Amino acid sequence: MRPSCLLALTIFITISLHAQTSSEEEEVEPPPYGYDTTLKGGYSLSYKADDSLQYLYLKKGKKTITELSCVSLGMLNKNLGYIGADFTSYFVFVHSFGGGNPHYIELIKKATGKNILNNGAAWIDVEEKKELLLYCKNDGPDKNDKMILLNVRTGQKQYFSFPKELFEESMVLNRIQISKVTDTQLVITYDTKNGSKVKMYKR
């Protein structure tokens, strides 16, 4: 083989191997984090990943306060967690797994990164401007469980019974929304097999 042909073949093989390596590297590169990362008060979430895991950190400026979550690289961003509501001193950190499963939540104090809710707490709804969080301490509630309305500013909790019709079907927590909340009442709408209904509670 001519020297010029041998040189060309060597260059071609080198380029091909480089392209293959680059392609493999691109395949394992994690997608960007797809949720909002900005919080009030100068706080934020920071997303990082290595070759096997992905992480979310709570930060203020350049200071890392804590690692919030860590899951395998192949899992979805919503499994890792995202901001569900942003209050003055706290934020709701949500984990969603799809398939009608409840949305698991943590109420994180921004200054410390600590969760003040019990493990297994699940999202119902929120009134963000009034800093009111409606949740249940159990992800699969029964008729003996209560909805909890937490005033995030004061820490005060109020307890309300679930509408009985909700338990005729599955996915109880996903079928409730806050319609209105004032100093004297809580109004929810909830979906049933017979359509949407409204229930009012005194506070």
Per-residue pLDDT at 32? 82
Whether 95 is covered by a domain: the verdict is yes
Single pTM value for the model: 0.83
Answer yes or no: is pLDDT of 8 > 70: no
**Is the Cβ–Cβ distance between 119 and 139 less than 8 Å?**
no
Distances in Å between the alpha carbon of 12 and those of 6, 7, 17, 24, 95? 10, 9, 9, 18, 48
Alpha helices, H only, 72-148? 77-80
**Is the Cβ–Cβ distance between 115 and 58 less than 8 Å?**
no
Q: Tally the domains of the chain.
A: 1
| pLDDT tier at 134, thresholds 50, 70, 90 | very high
Whether 108 is covered by a domain: the verdict is yes
Its sign, for the CA torsion 33, 56, 37, 177, is positive
Whether 172 is covered by a domain: the verdict is no
Whether 44 is covered by a domain: the verdict is yes
Per-residue pLDDT at 98? 85
Answer yes or no: is pLDDT of 22 > 80: no
Task: Tell me the C-alpha distance between 72 and 50, whole Å.
Answer: 10
Whether 121 is covered by a domain: the verdict is no
Whether 100 is covered by a domain: the verdict is yes
Tens of pLDDT, residue by residue over 60-110, are 999 999 999 999 998 999 999 999 999 999 999 999 998 889 999 999 999
Whether 175 is covered by a domain: the verdict is no
Question: Mean of the per-residue pLDDT values for the chain?
Answer: 88
Q: Which domain holds residue 84?
A: 32-116
Whether 163 is covered by a domain: the verdict is no
Tens of pLDDT, residue by residue over 25-56, are 444 555 689 999 999 999 999 999 999 999 99
